[in-house]
Structure 1
Amino acid sequence: MSNYPGIRLLMTGDELIHGDIIDTNYSYLATTLIENGLVVQEKCTVGDNLGTLVHQIRRLSEASDILLINGGLGPTQDDLTAEAMAQAFDIELEQIPEARCHVEAWCERRGFALSPASLKQATLPHGAKIFPSSPGSAAAFCIRANDCLVIATPGVPSELKHIVKEELLSHILDIFDCNKPEPLTKFTLLGIGESSLQSLIDQTPAIKDNLEIGFRAGLPTLELKYRTKTGVDPDHSKDAKQLLEQAVADHLIDDRPSTVAQVLLKTLQETNQQFCTAESCTGGMIASELTRLPGASAHFQGAIVSYSNNVKHQVLGVEESTLETHGAVSEPVAKQMLAGALQQTQAEIGVAVTGIAGPDGGSADKPVGTVWIAWGTEHAVKTVRLCVKFPRVQFQQLVSAISMELVRRELKQQENPPAWLARWS
């Protein structure tokens, strides 16, 4: 049998079909399996219909080394997985002694009476083996059928994660004698999209030939995942990794999955600096992103959301003549906003943002998406003008991220502003 078994996932429940909940269990299972070198070949989602379940269990088991079923193990009439498995493989349902002991112990620990509904969870296909680490009343179990290992797991996310971590994953890896793959390296990138990143990779065949590469796109960041392909010479892999890291160096903000705010706060902690913001078009989003993180209070002095010109003048000290001559969205106003925020909060470094988020309010010389960012200290201020033509919320998210990254780079004494900002200049 292959060292890398093919796995199919069958996710069950009317709540998934009807869109009542997001299937986080699939995301967790797929990510965990793939990170451990297991190949997920197909995902199928079905409702609580016995005939459909039976059909899909037969079909998927005939094509798989492993069929992993999630959901439908509970005590209610719409929990059909055990019955569907019995029908699919033409085997009898019976009360499994180990499963009954599991249910009895679960009820006793909680002071619950043992009911017929509870005991339904002990009635499983003949030959089923339970996973004793199951924390819920319904134990995960497995059987062999159609030359396939068929595993049924509970739909409660916390129970599923516990079983996978404590028992199920190691059970699969041991049975199929899978070699533990190289762990995935995950980078958080800013200022580059999937197509641009793919183009960079395509320019260097050594990267494609030697590394498994994946992306997870989002706004404002992109996650790059990679590891050595099976059978690749270690020296070739090392060279390919260096080439990849060089290609994305200007966009790299962390060597792990992170938010821009998390990376900035870590840098503030490392440099022991106090930070502040003066925000107009971002409406306090930078402050919000930072203050949702534990430990922010030690390095974030405060934010002034100066949405109106009156607040810019009265609170931040922006001169009325500057507002009248240059307009609220201008370099002089951004600089004075920053100076006022630093003075008011006594922070050592800060950022000020003023722009036109849209969808209206633009002009020929200042179209929607125009934004001025000023960042730095009392004695050293830098500025940049960008035109970020995104819908309003995405505009705020990206401008907030760029603003935080500019401060992080200043603290790290990196090239600032970065070259990739030219795409919005």
Structure 2
Amino acid sequence: MTVLGYAALLLGVLMLGLVGGFWLAHARHRYDRNRPQGPTVAELLQRLVHSTNNGVVVLNRFGDVVVHNPRADELGFITDNRADARAREAAEQALESGEPVTVDLSPRERTALAGRTPSAVHGEARPLGDGFAVVDAADESDAVRLEATRRDFVANVSHELKTPVGALALLAETVLDAADDPEEVRHFATKILHESTRLGTLVSELIALSRLQGAESLPELNTVDVDGVVEEALERCRVSAESAGIDITVDESSDLLLDGDRTLLVTALSNLVDNAVSYSPDGSPVSISRRLNGDFVEIAVTDRGIGIEPEDQQRVFERFFRVDPARSRATGGTGLGLAIVKHVAANHGGEVALWSRPGTGSTFTLRVPRHSASESETVPAAEDAPTADAASAAEPGGAVAAVHSMVESVDGFRAVETGGVR
């Protein structure tokens, strides 16, 4: 081949290379332009596993951890990249049976792990095929605590209702046996009246507590005069305080206003005052003070009573908890008063605080947000708010009212029959 032929061949190869390179560059540009932007499916799956609130771990047939998310470490069934023995066993069973296997992965040493891991972790192991299994676990601590609270509440209500109902039955039998003795009838009828009153109070407070717990917040807020709330609460507790010889002192009028439900606030404050009277020695003082602290109105009730042990101070707001059960039952207490106070404060966007020292006394402070409207608004008159009698009349206590009526009828009949005066 001549030199000219070689040159032509070389030129052709060069041209083909240039055209091929241009075509490849153009094709790559089109591929990059048409390729979907953003993460791949694998990356999205990884993000999903890492963001889920459940703990997820994939194990192979030997029980080794292939992949897991941080939540599995937080829930405590993955430690140092090793799965809990219960998770490995459940995964092995799932691989053998080909069916999901439930597993309890709750921490064995609750005290050592307190504050780091949940108290109840339940999961499920599922086979993935090819010798791999996934363990998916969730924190169910809140559900377990809620169920325990529900069981305790049902048990406590049953016990508390059983006592006065049983007493009413026994007293009624005694009245029947003593039908020919007017004095005995009157004596036991008075006891029936006392037990029916206690039963009515318990039912009313259970209904009130149920309503408070079911409400996220108060639907309507009215402007409430704090001084009026204090006066009405004092009026409700005056008889019990006078019977115990307890003098309740009150600071000067404050003219403070807050937004809320007057009836609920009076109920909460009267519960605090009644609690102070019940747990104070006869003749000891009880005081009520009010002040504005930042954006909150604080009403404090202080007594010089038996005080509360530190380990009981967080529990006094639990339903049916009593610091001194014998004293509370003797005074007719239901164990629901402070629970109602707690929920009234919470529904008003506030709280109730406690300071106490055994042998010295206690101070309960009801903190509620101050009135936030303009100063030109007028305070509703006290007569606009439902009275205590009207509020109690609205409670569905027909059965208890019937007991009262029957007792009074029996007592009155015996008095007329024997010519006595009630």
With the length of structure 1 as denominator, give the TM-score of the two structures. Answer: 0.24
- Which of the two has higher C-alpha Rg? 2
With the length of structure 2 as denominator, give the TM-score of the two structures. Answer: 0.24
